[in-house]
Amino acid sequence: MNSHEIDYKLYGEELQFVEIELDPGETTVAESGAFMMMEDGIMMNTIFGDGSQQQTGGFLGKVLNAGKRILTGESLFMSQFTNEGMGKAKVSFAAPYTGKIIPLNLQEYDGKIVCQKDAFLCAAKGVSIGIEFQRKLGTGIFGGEGFIMQKIEGDGMAFVHAGGFVMKKELAIGEMLRIDTGCVVAYTSRVDFDIEFIKGMKNWMFGGEGLFYAVLRGPGTVWIQSLPISRLAAKIVSYGGGRRREEGSILGGLGNILDGDGI
């Protein structure tokens, strides 16, 4: 294996974190801001990009590879955690919002997973986190994630995060699945990702589901999330910054006064 072999354990239900156990000399990399805690003996180092062996070409090559991450909305830098002690030690990384952490053994998926732009959480050193361009114009423009998605490659463990409940679905050869564009978390390299126009004028105007489905065709594996972060953020914004909605309340605005909130 080119990647470091790491052991892990997931904690929690809706707000999870992953605990990674490192042998002496082993390293894991994580997105900036994902760190939660670490035991004595582990040292943190900030690096350009993911620190994988694919980053070649000296300093300029590292800058160019790391710079690609800006296109996926990520930082130029990642955090690297190495066990420099004499015994095993653990480091933990937390999910950024409510949902599930998905462990992925890349050896089981032909060494490549394509996922939404902000899905990656952490991985064993040697795993490459790059960008995947959508080859179809329509998919890139209307597919919800745009032309650019994250590409995770290698032969080690990687961990991605998704919102709400996560379903793993196996697609047979030619099997098709229509999904809300924001609910696609990740899929294996043989899955064909396309978009389909929703039929019917009433559906466009009053359906509230947008104009397009994501269409996935097998063979391969697909991970689907029930609560995209964009949907959650939109709901929070709709309830914030203004007067509280008094849904089903007889008191209405009077309830605000009784609660001490004013009118």
| CATH, residue 121 | 3.60.160.10
Segment (H or E) for 258: helix 253-258
246 occurs within a structural domain: no
255 occurs within a structural domain: no
Distance CA 210, CA 262 (A): 37
11 occurs within a structural domain: yes
Domain containing 208: what range?
7-237
**pLDDT > 90 fraction of the chain, expressed in percent and rounded:** 46
93 occurs within a structural domain: yes
Question: Does 144 score more than 60 pLDDT?
Answer: no
CB neighbours of residue 32 within 10 Å: 12
Query: How many domains does the chain divide into?
Result: 1
244 occurs within a structural domain: no
Amino acid type, 261: D
CB neighbours of residue 128 within 10 Å: 23
E strands, the chain, are: 7-11, 17-22, 27-31, 35-38, 42-48, 77-83, 89-94, 99-105, 112-115, 120-124, 128-133, 148-153, 157-163, 166-171, 176-180, 184-188, 192-197, 212-217, 220-225
Which residues lie across from 161 on neighbouring strands?
101
Per-residue pLDDT of 173-217, as tens digits, reads 999 999 888 899 999 999 998 887 765 454 445 444 556 778 899
Of 192, 150, 50, 167, the C-alpha closest to 100 is 167
Question: Does 153 score more than 90 pLDDT?
Answer: yes
At residue 150, the pLDDT reads 87
Half-sphere exposure of 126 (CA within 13 A, CB side): 17
22-26, 113-117, 146-150 — which is least confidently predicted? 146-150
50 occurs within a structural domain: yes
Task: Collect all residues with Cβ–Cβ distance below 8 Å to 234 and sequence separation of at least 6.
Answer: none
> Quick one: tokens of 145?
């994630």
Q: Please state the φ and ψ torsions of residue 68, each to the nearest 5 degrees.
A: -60, -25
Across all residues in the chain, what is the average pLDDT? 79
Amino acid type, 15: L
131 occurs within a structural domain: yes
Amino acid type, 24: P
Do residues 140 and 134 lie in contact, with contact meaning Cβ atoms separated by under 8 Å?
Answer: yes
94 occurs within a structural domain: yes
Per-residue pLDDT of 214-231, as tens digits, reads 889 999 999 999 988 877
